[in-house]
Amino acid sequence: MRLHVADHPLITHKLTVLRDEATPSPVFRQLTEELVTLLAYEATRNVRVSPIEIQTPVTTTTGVKISEPRPLVVPILRAGLGMLEGMVKLLPTAEVGFLGMARNEETLEPTTYAERLPDDLSDRQCFVLDPMLATGGSLGAAIEFLFRRGAQDVTAICILGAPEGVAAIEKQVAGRDVTLVLGAMDERLNEKGYIVPGLGDAGDRLYGTV
């Protein structure tokens, strides 16, 4: 597994505002989108491209275009939805599939309550969006889902990760082509499975406590 933890003052600055409990939902949503666009730049470093001949006003030249089959972006509902716009800004031709998952707050086990993905993901590069990597249960289940459908490789973008979750994903995906891009690696999980210092419940901060 490849792990990239962002190290850029703009990202750390935006994360600081995101973490602040006084930051209201509209600002939180805007910052989440901006952070994903910044992280997507690194996450798409290995996106497959193929050569294409074009004519500039001066001459012909060879450039590149995103290869077929198009990359698949998979936000994990609900909180991952807040990352979608920031991602497709950078990859506008990507297709989008959805996975709905909720973590049981007692057992910390995820359940999948919705799925809208192509049956066959052979040859597809997949980009999973989930702001929080805590125990790794939700992201791990999403990654398994995609590989079972034949995905070629999976890149996950998370705003914050806990060392416990990163270790769990690393153990689970051993030998498979997985990249993890984090905005920051936090200190630890608390006794309730929340990331410390973290930012609280990402879904609630984006969309309220419905």
**Catalytically annotated residue among 70, 103, 112, 149:** 103
Site for ligand URA in 111-140 (CB under 6 A): 132, 134
130 binds, among ligand URA, ligand PRP, none (CB under 5 to 8 A by kind): ligand PRP
Question: What is the DSSP-derived secondary structure letter of residue 44?
Answer: T
Is residue 201 annotated as part of the catalytic site, yes or no?
Answer: yes
Handedness of CA 88, 91, 94, 98 (dihedral sign): negative
**Contacting residue, 28, 145, 147, 194, with ligand URA by CB under 6 A:** 194
Residue 75 is a binding residue for ligand PRP (CB under 6 A): no
Whole-angstrom Cα distance, residue 37 to residue 62?
A: 27
The answer to whether the CB of 90 falls within 8 A of the CB of 37 is: yes
Q: Quote the least distance from Cβ 177 to ligand URA, whole Å.
A: 26
Give phi and psi for 135, each to the nearest 5: -75, -20
The answer to whether the CB of 193 falls within 8 A of the CB of 15 is: no
Stretch (H or E) spanning 3 = strand 2-5
Whole-angstrom Cα distance, residue 145 to residue 151?
A: 9
Is residue 120 annotated as part of the catalytic site, yes or no?
Answer: no
Is residue 37 annotated as part of the catalytic site, yes or no?
Answer: no
Residue 78 is a binding residue for ligand PRP (CB under 6 A): yes
Is residue 186 annotated as part of the catalytic site, yes or no?
Answer: no
Which residue positions form the known binding site?
A: 78, 103, 130-138, 195, 200-202
- Residues near ligand URA (CB under 6 A) are 132, 134, 194-195, 198, 201-203
- Residues near ligand PRP (CB under 6 A) are 76, 78-79, 101-103, 108, 110, 130-139, 165, 193, 201-203
